[in-house]
Amino acid sequence: MKFTWFNLMPWPYLPDDFREKHRSVWVDIPNTLYDPRKGHHVYHTYLDQLEYAETLGFDGIGCNEHHQNGYGLMPSPNLIAATLARRTSRAALCVIGNSIAGYNPPIRVAEEFAMLDVISGGRLIAGFPVGTPMDTNFCYGQIPALTRDKYREAHEMIMKAWASEEPFAFDGKYNQLRWVNCWPKPIQKPHPPIYIPGGGSIETWDFCLDYDYNYSYLSFFGYLRGKSLLDGYWERVAKRGKDDSPYRAAFAQIICVADTDAEAERLYAEHVLYFFNRCLHVFPPFADPAGYRTMATIKHGALAQLTLARQKILENLTWKQLIDERFIIAGSPETVRQQLEECIKGLRIGHLFCLFHNGNMPDWKTRHSSKLFAEKVMPHLRDLWPEWKHDERWWMHPMDDRLRPEERRPGAEQSGAEWSR
Amino acid sequence: MKWQVVETKKGTRCRVLEGGSGAPLLFLHSAGGLLRDNPFLDRLAQRYHVLAPEWPGYGESTGEELLEDMLDFTLHGWDLVDALGLRHPHLVGHSMGGMIAAEMACLAPREVGKLALASPAGLWLDEHPIPDIFAMLPYQLAEVLFHDPAAGQALLTGGADLSDMDALKDFYLSSQRRLTMAGKILFPIPNRRLSKRLYRLTAETLLVWGASDRLIVPAYAGHWQALIPGARVEMIEAAAHMLPYEQPEAFARVLSSFLG
């Protein structure tokens, strides 16, 4: 198993009456609620936590892209990853990812990801989400019906740019570049591992399997609800005649560890509820513009996806419900271990994106929970897939002789700092 | 009036509501499509040969994947004129249909009889931002579209009982399909630079507006008029954005006196 410590970077100062006063945490959230001076401290706290996760032994540290979003302070995850590239040297940098349909021209993503891979010594894991409708359509103005087509074209350009050893012309429908010539190029060959975060679009499964990319199901609603979706994915894997390595799939899970189950509630309940009640308060039409989901996907799940129903669920959530319905996995190390094993085996996943920081959780609680997990839970879950132990197809392949910039003092003379090295 | 199906040279299959006799009149519907009842068309059919196609992606018309941008939409309009064998039709367009009709007339000004635009989309004024129809709950849509939202809601659902899950599902699916198509020329801002092309118009032009239009407010009528020298403006009282449906009699009367 590979464990990645993920921070969504929520804004921790949403007011108590946020739900009543505002219709959405995303897209049209009043930006007067953001205070840049507090933001300075928030960013550094979150970045410190990601760096701390590496010292705890997590395999990866992760960030993602959201825009105009009260629970995601990373319009540019690449900036976050760039700071981490200089302050860490062992963990994979999981950027899950860049919503490539919104980049103009998409070669920018090929370049920035290459920069990150080179600076980090080959530690990048590159995510290519279609992007949520909030981000890609409402904030970044892409036409819903054409978003997937534009995504496919952007993907084609980026992969070709990484693979090609000569400048080439790209005559796309949405992007025309006479001279595509990626410079710099990534260390990892043929390219960094590619992760495709998906919701429930069935087209995404085939896309992952066409190229052997990792399929990441990023849900906040836990493994009981994720099961039918992942089952569908694995059925598709079998139908396509692919091997069923669990490393083909990743899942995101909110996790809270304390000494006892009761202590977990006492320490974390208010912060997790802050996340569900305030951070997921999205105006439903922003989540489902006509054309974003294909007609095939809508027919597959039509009304089950109607987000008004989801909003109703969120209104009166309790800690007990969150636990009973397994939206979150919280409790003593033993409780968490048991439930996570059920989650990992039930979904057949080799990668877990662990969400320890939730809502307005203070730094010390986040670290406490992460540390308990690293020491008392993670070791017991490491070897759940012994038969796939050596499957590294969806993990980073860094340089052995990479630098450790976090150990170097600025201004100190570097021995052997010759370009010829 | 009767339905017929035509196939365009490009390969779309479109259902067309046809009736009446006289000068040919092509009516292009709004982003919401033709509703179950279209009494204003019945009235117009008493004087004209009315043809009201359903755009690909609407109702039983197919081929939506063949149309992606404004030029595709505009040419599709002319492809329909060809497929229906019309000569110099009057073009009448409502909202999104008005935007398409105006584009058609800019592209081929000499092929048009007269041009009538009912609260057309296609222009943008920063001081009057058009509400985002792609980010609305169903009841909000009725409020922004109709002078009388309660009556409007019933018109939009065509009398379907939405407490029935299957009816709700059908309504949701067809409305998603329609707006998927409309989004190609209306999302995120319904402006595809038509204003640069309006100088080409030669047809006599009428602008009809609902006096209480909250979607594309009547201030837009003045903007259109400024861009089309000689265009006439008619305001219809007790009507909002869905004026053809809200005041079918007045709407047909205003059109008839303009088209002659």
In this prediction the ipTM stands at: 0.93
Range A2-407 classified under CATH 3.20.20.30: yes
The whole-number pLDDT of residue A306 equals 47
Under CATH, what is the fold of the domain B2-259?
Answer: Rossmann fold (3.40.50)
Q: Which residues fall within 8 angstroms of residue B151, CB to CB, at 6 or more apart?
A: none
Encode A240-270 in three state secondary structure: CCCCCCHHHEEEEEEEEECCCHHHHHHHHHH
Arithmetic mean of pLDDT, A307-329: 83
User: What is d(CA B222, CA B228) in angstroms, rounded to the nearest whole number?
Assistant: 10
Sketch the domain layout of chain A as residue ranges: 2-407
**Structure confidence at residue A258 (pLDDT):** 98
On the question of a cis peptide bond just before residue B89, with omega within 30 degrees of 0, the verdict is: no
Confidence of residue A301 (pLDDT cuts 50, 70, 90): low
* pLDDT digit string, tens, across residues A151-170: 999 999 999 999 999 999 99
pLDDT digits 0-9 by tens, A345-373: 999 999 999 999 999 999 999 999 999 99
A306 CB within 8 Å of a chain B CB: yes
Smallest CA–CA distance, residue B45 to chain A, in Å, is: 33
Omega into B190 within 30° of 0, i.e. cis? no
As a whole-number percent, the residues of chain B with pLDDT over 90 amount to 90
The three-class DSSP label of residue B105 is helix
| Residue B126 contacts A, CB cutoff 8 Å | no
Searching chain A, which residue's CA lies closest to the CA of residue B138?
A285
**Chain B residues whose beta carbon lies within 8 Å of the beta carbon of residue A144:** 134, 180, 183, 187
| Under 8 Å between Cβ of B25 and B92 | yes
User: What is the b/e burial string over B141-169, where b = at least 16 CB atoms within 10 angstroms of the residue's CB?
Assistant: bbbbbbbbbeebbebbbeeeeeeeeeebb
pLDDT for res A408 = 77
Element at A404 (helix H, strand E): none
Q: Which residues pair with A214 in a beta bridge?
A: A195
pLDDT at A315: 74
Size of interface A-B (CB pairs under 8 A): 66
Residues of A in contact with B177 (CB under 8 A): 290, 295
Interface membership of A138 toward B (CB under 8 Å): yes
State whether residue B173 sits within 8 Å of chain A by CB. yes
Asked if B163 has any chain A CB less than 8 Å from its own CB, the reply is: no
- In chain B, helix, strand, coil percent, each to 5? 45, 15, 40
| B136–A contact, CB cutoff 8 A | yes
A420: confidence class by pLDDT, cuts 50, 70, 90: low
DSSP alpha helix (H) spans, chain B: 39-44, 70-83, 96-107, 138-145, 149-157, 165-186, 219-227, 243-246, 248-259
Mean of the per-residue pLDDT values of chain A: 93
H or E, element range at A95: strand A92-95
Which residue from B minimizes the CA distance to A302?
A: B169
In terms of Cβ atoms closer than 10 Å to its own Cβ (0-12, 13-18, 19+), residue B62 is middle
Question: Does the distance separating the beta carbons of B169 and A302 come in below 8 Å?
Answer: yes
For residue range A172-231, what is the model confidence (pLDDT) as tens digits? 999 999 999 999 999 999 999 999 998 767 788 999 999 999 999 998 999 998 998 999
pLDDT given for residue B144 in this prediction: 97
Residue-wise pLDDT tens for chain B (260 aa)? 999 999 999 999 999 999 999 999 999 999 999 999 999 999 999 999 999 999 999 999 999 999 999 999 999 999 999 999 999 999 999 999 999 999 999 999 999 999 999 999 999 999 999 999 999 988 899 999 999 999 998 898 887 887 888 888 888 899 999 999 999 999 999 999 999 999 999 999 999 999 999 999 999 999 999 999 899 999 999 999 999 999 999 999 999 999 99
Give residue-wise pLDDT tens across range A110-137: 999 999 999 999 999 999 999 999 999 9
**Using one digit for the tens of pLDDT, what is the confidence trace for A249-263?**
999 999 999 999 999
A291 touches chain B (CB under 8 A): yes
Q: Min CA distance, B133 vs chain A (Å)?
A: 10
